[in-house]
Structure formats: structure tokens, C-alpha cells
Structure 1
Amino acid sequence: MAEPRSIAVPPEAAGQRLDHFVATQLEGVSRSRVQLLLDQGDVSVNGAQVKASLKLRGGEHIRITGEPHPAPLKATPQDIPLDVVFEDKHFAVINKPAGMMVHAGAGETEDARNCNTLVNALLFRFKALSATGGDLRPGIVHRLDKETSGLIVVAKNDAAHGALAELFSSRQISKTYIALVHGAVERQKGTITAAVSRDPMRRTRMTTRPADNARSAVSHYEVVRRLETRFGKFTLVRVRIETGRTHQIRVHMASIGHPVVGDTTYGASSQLTDQVAAQAAPSRSARRNSQPERLRLNRNFLHAARLAFTHPVTGKPLELESPLPADLEMFLARLESGRTDSANASVTGTVPDGGAPLIK
């Protein structure tokens, strides 16, 4: 039980909301956490229970009887199916679906913060995982964004975790992604070396703008297929990353003017419109009344397709692959069915006319 705490409201705080003022007085405590304390009846003003929206007048006495800092979360097992691509006694490689967070994030309640993640599923499937990442991230050696699908490595013990982490940090693991980006990428191959840092204005984004805390990032891309469709021009690219910065491929491709399809965070459209049909209407009023076909992808068109590395214990080479998931195949096929050259190319994992495979 936390020791009760009293706060005297100074005159200069007059006019402030109660929850805002209390949050400024408790170091490291969010406003949402203060609101939760108020809802639980753990905050009183002059001995009375009040609402978070109370406007202070100065001179009040606030008493806090609950714990301002929530207890640390601990991940718990949850029966969620997993697609296990590789497994031995040291580690496993999972094909993560889009929409699944790797581990719990911030939230207002423990239930909201600590369920339906990859970690919950891993604990149920494997029971024991490495403890290096702490109670909230057992087994997690590296991450994939929530809306990115594909291969992720998880460690079953601390020794394996350390060995795998060393492979990642020394760039001895080859990581290849498949992405569909907006526009026609000019060069057939290229390397992006822009350093990446947290966007100071929008903290959920990363940026390649120069910053003192920017970290080096290297992405090599190669064009797999070019699409000129009724919905616009697109390029399917294979991207191999040397580093593993947050949002690296997404922010790198956006930095050269080609955001990943579906990635509205970095400038992609929320939906694609049949531009040919929209422009074919004979008048402005007809265009307003027409309903050209629209396509929407409710995730980023980004898939971690291949991992290649030497097993850190056995020394055997491993090459693990994951084909494009069904939702991305269907989206790509629909785009290609609307190609302006009328070529209906199917999505089979290879480019038309015997070109290079999607994954290599």
C-alpha cells in the first residue's frame, strides 16, 4: 500500500484542471494514470471525492492514497495459433501475421496492454523463453512493426538470446523484405544510407532529417516488378537491410518519394482510386456522381520474406523463407488486373516472363 501523499495547491495553479495539475506534481506519472486514480477514489480535494475536470481555485489540499505508478506488467500465456517456420531447443522462427504486436505496449489497463501479442502466444506454445528482454519481452531478440508480416526470431534461453543478438548487431543475419511502393522507382537498384531518428514533432514517427541523435541505417533495394495500373504507378521492390532501425524501410522508401502502399504514417494514400474511370467522366458533375472503383489495404504492404544466417550453436547455414501472405497476394493481383497494358499477371511468387523470384 502506498503512503498517502498531500499536495497544497498554490495560487498560481488557479484555473487548471485537477488531473493536469496532479500529473505535473508526480514525476513520471501520466495524466491518464492520474485519471485512473481519480476513478478509483484514490484522490480527494479538501476531503471530498471530485472529478478529474474540477477547476482548481488555489489553496486546496489534495490527498493521494493510491499508488501513482502502476505495477510492472508481466506477460502471460495466451492460446493463440502460431505459424512456426523453424524450431530447435535454442530458438524458433515464427511467421508473424500483420496486425499482431510483438509485445505489450502502453495502455490504460493491464488487459489492454498485455494480451493478443506474439509474446502471449509464445509463452503458451513454448512455456520457457529467454529472460534477457525482461518480463514483458521474453524471448524477443528483434522486432517487426505491428502491421508488418513475416519472419521473426525468438530465443528459448539466455545463451541463445545473446548469441542471436550478437549476430544481429554484427550484421551477420541477412534480412530481406518485399514491399510495394507508390510511384515508379527510377533506378533498378539502389542503396539508401540516410540516418534515422525520432521525429521531434510527431513522436510516433521516425525521420531522416538531420539530428544529433540520428542512428545510421542502410537499406539496399532492387526492383522486382513495375506496375502501371488504372490506380496509378507502383513498384514492387525487394529490400535487404543491414541495420534494424525502427520503421527503417518505411521511412527510407518515403524519403526517396516512394512510400510503402498502405502506410499512411509516411504519406501513402488511405485508398487507391481508379484514375482512368474518374478521368473518363465527360463533365465535372458527372465525375462527382460517378463511383470509380477504390482499393484499400488495411495494413502496410511490407513483408519480412527471408532470413539467412549461420546457426550460432550448430554452425549450420539456415535459409528461411515466407511467401507473401494471402491478403498481399490478392491486393497485388487486383492491381495487376487493372494494368493499363491489359496484361493480367497472376501473383505466383515470380515476376512475369521468367524474371527473378520475389525472394532471394
Structure 2
Amino acid sequence: MKEIIVGENEQDKRFDSFLKGYLKEASGGFIYKMLRKKNITLNDKKSDGSEKLKKGDVIKIFFTDDTLNKFRGKGTLKDSLEPELKAYEKLGKLTVIYEDDNIVLVDKPAGVLSQKAQKEDYSLNEWLIGYLLDKGDITVDSLETYRPSICNRLDRNTSGIVICAKSLTGARKMNELIKDRNVGKFYRTLVKGKIDKDFSLKGYLSKDEKKNKVVILDKDPHNPDFSYIETEFHVVGYNSESSLTMLEVKLITGKPHQIRAHLSSIGHPIIGDIKYGGSAYKKINYQLLHSYRLQFPQGLDEPFSSLSGKEFIAPLPKEFDIFE
């Protein structure tokens, strides 16, 4: 018999939805049959699966170990965590800017993937689980019902702040704030040439997934493949010796490669951004783009009230020293 105590990461889920995720190899029909026969109970009572789970509820599954393992999938969860543990070992102790019970803000270095592109990749998603396991904030058992993950993505060679959710509560709130554009996301970047005043750009973007590259049009093509984009640019400074301008960029919308393609479209591609018309600069052959500053809105309720109005900064990487 397997007993599961419902925690914060499982509460508010429908019972049958939880079971379908937990017993991923079992059919829906089989699960409902087990509920009818009381081989699966909720708080020691018969259930039809429609109940909303509450923290502290007790789920009992009266299967043999072999049957439970069969419907949970081959192997054990511990065995399957090798990628996460290797990612944490390989990437090391990344800089954590802020952490509480629900989220982690991590300063991602350039060259690290936010999410896996291929099976053998190490990414921030796997690192996060390895990091939390090492700290003891999560357990192998807790991963059976919720897996912490990142909430926003940065390109492999874009560095800076990434929001990671430790709990389902954190994931729901961060995703809501990002979707509603209530989190201020500011980047720093260097471009060749002089820009002497602040400006904003609007357009319509479409991504070619095969080429992993986007195109921007000034006017609405009335094509569902294109999305409206808007970006604001503030001039931080200009270095006349190197002819470089440092910009702080605010994303109004957040689409793939938006900043890179927008700057390229006005003839000021990012230093090192070869894909979008830039050129290598002093051995920098990737886009010098850094997620520098994150602003949370005022008036957040518990358990996020401590984030209300807060600003977090990830210091510029050493590669930005070329501006000095």
C-alpha cells in the first residue's frame, strides 16, 4: 500500500487529474475502476475522482509494489534523476540572487541552456532540481508530484536573471505575473556605433523554428504566424574610444530574439551577435546581452508580499568590461 499526504504542490488539483499524472502508465478507465472498488481512497473514503485536493488529505493506493511500479513507469524516480544530479555537478554553484520558499532568482551564465535542446544537454531546469535536492529543500519523493522548473527562458548565450519556481504556488504566481506583463524585465547590451537618445520600436515578429531565427516587419501582415512586439531602449552611455553604446532595454512584449532582431533592424546589431548581423568583437562571438534587472509590482499578496515593489539586479559579466 502506498500512502501520499497532499502538500502545497498538490492542493487544488482534481483528484482524478492527480492520479492520471501519478499513475502515468494507467488508463483513465483503470483509475476510475480502482476508485469504484476502493483500491484507491481519499481520506479513507470512496471517491469518484472529482474532488479538489486539500493540504493534508491522505491518498491511499492499495497496489502491490510491482503493480504500483508498473503503472508509475519503468525504473525508479531516483534512477531517473541522474541528469539533474549531473547538471548540478557540472554547472556548479550558480549565483543565486534571491530565494524564498516558492521561487529562486538565478544569475544564468552565458553558454548555459535554460531548457534542454537535446537529450544529452545540461540545462538550468536540471540544475535547479539538483540544487534543491542538494540543499534538502525537496526530496526524491516530492518530485513524484511536482518538479520545480524555470518560469522564463533566456537564449543559451544570453546571461542574467532567470525566475525559477520551487513550488506549484510559485510557478502559478510567477507565470501569471509574466503573462500579464506585471514583471519589469530590463536588459543591458552593447551595440556598435553611437545612439544619443532614448527610443522605442514596434513591429511584428515571426520565428522560423528550423533556422532558429526571426524576422520583423514594420507593418501588420495580418498573418497569424506574426506576433506584435514592442521594445523600449534607454541610452546608458557612449564610449567614443571604442565607439560602443550601452543600452538598457525594457521588454514590453516578450518574444524569442525580440531585442536582438529589433536592434539589427535599425542597423545597430548587438556586439558578437553574428546571427543578426553583428560581428565578433575582441573574441566575443556571441550576443552580449544580459538580463540585468527585474522589478516586481506593488501590492502582492501572501506568500509573495515580501516581493512587492522589490528590484533585483544581476551584475554585468566581465565581458562588458570592453565598454570601460
With the shorter chain as reference, the TM-score category is: 0.5 to 0.7
Q: Letter of the 1:87 partner, please give it.
A: E
Q: Deviation per CA, 1:233-268: give whole Å up to 9, x if none.
A: 321111111221111111111111110001000000
Residue 197 of structure 2: aligned partner? 188
Give the aligned partner of residue 326 of structure 1: 318
Q: Which residues in structure 2 correspond to 1:257-268 (within 5 Å)?
A: 257-268=267-278
Cα distance, 1:162 vs structure 2: 1.1
Task: Show the counterpart of 1:236.
Answer: 246
| Secondary structure at the counterpart of residue 85 of structure 2 | coil
State the TM-score, normalizing by the size of structure 1.
0.57
Contact map agreement 1:81 1:121 (CA 8 A) in 2: no
Give the aligned partner of residue 300 of structure 1: 287
**Which secondary structure state, in structure 2, belongs to the residue aligned with residue 142 of structure 1?**
coil
Between structure 1 and structure 2, the one with the greater Rg is: 1
What does the per-residue CA deviation read over 1:62-103, in whole Å, with 9 as the maximum and x for residues that have no partner?
xxxxxxxxxxx9852332211100000010100111111111
The 8 Å contact of residues 150 and 163 in structure 2, kept in 1 or not, is answered as yes
Q: Which amino acid aligns with 1:204?
A: N
Q: Report the Cα distance in structure 2 between the residues aligned to 1:93 and 1:314, rounded to whole angstroms.
A: 14
- Determine the C-alpha separation between the residues in 1 that align with 2:180 and 2:190: 28
Once residues 321 and 305 of structure 1 are traced to their aligned partners in structure 2, the CA distance between those partners, rounded to angstroms, is 6
Q: Counterparts of 1:297 and 1:270 in 2: how far apart (Å)? A: 5
Q: Using the TM superposition, name which of 245-254 and 303-312 deviates more.
A: 303-312
> Does residue 153 of structure 2 align to residue 163 of structure 1?
no
Task: Give, as a single letter, the amino acid of the residue that structure 2 aligns with 1:123.
Answer: I
CA distance in 2 between counterparts of 1:154 and 1:124 reads 13
Deviations 1:161-189 (A, max 9, x none): 1111110111100011111012222x511
Which of 63, 85, 95 in structure 2 is aligned with 1:83? Answer: 95
Task: Return the alpha-carbon distance in structure 1 between the equivalents of residues 239 and 258 of structure 2.
Answer: 24
- Of 205, 214, 225 in structure 1, the residue corresponding to residue 213 of structure 2 is 205
How many pairs were matched up? Answer: 223
2:305 equivalent to 1:315: yes
Deviates more, 1:155-164 or 1:83-92: 155-164
Please tell me the root mean square deviation across aligned C-alpha atoms, in Å: 2.4
SS in 2 for 1:217: strand
Identify which of 162, 175, 185 aligns with 1:175: 185
Judged with a 3 Å threshold, the aligned counterparts in structure 2 of structure 1 residues 235 and 148 are, in CA distance, closer, same or farther, namely same
Post-superposition offset of 1:119: 1.8
Does residue 104 of the first structure (1) align with residue 116 of the second (2)?
yes
* Structure 2 counterpart of 1:265, one-letter code: K
Partner SS, residue 111 of structure 2: coil
Q: Which consecutive unaligned segments of at least 5 residues does structure 1 have?
A: 1-72, 272-294, 334-360
CA distance in 1, matches of 2:176, 2:267: 33
Q: Distance in 2 between matches of 1:195 and 1:323?
A: 31
- Name the CA distance, whole Å, in 2 between partners of 1:234 and 1:82: 29
In 1, Cα distance between equivalents of 2:275 and 2:116: 21
1:3 is matched with none
Given the alignment of the two structures, is residue 94 of structure 1 paired with residue 106 of structure 2, yes or no? Answer: yes
Pick aligned residue for 1:223 from 235, 238, 241: 235
Deviation string, structure 1 residues 108-127 (Cα, Å, up to 9, x no partner): xx4x33x2x21222111113
1:141 maps to what in 2?
151
* CA–CA separation in structure 1 for the residues paired with 2:204 and 2:164: 27
Q: Which residue of 2 aligns with 1:245?
A: 255
Write the deviation string for residues 266-322 of structure 1: whole angstroms up to 9, x where unpaired.
Answer: 000124xxxxxxxxxxxxxxxxxxxxxxx2213321111100104563323221011
8 Å CA contact retained: 1:77, 1:122: no
Give 5+ residue unaligned stretches, structure 2: 1-79
Equivalent residue in structure 2 for 1:255, among 261, 265, 278: 265
* Aligned equivalent of 2:127, options 110, 121, 131: 121
TM-score by length of 2: 0.63
For the 8 Å contact 1:101–1:146, the answer to whether it is kept is yes
Correspondences of 1:281-296 after superposition (within 5 Å): 295-296=282-283
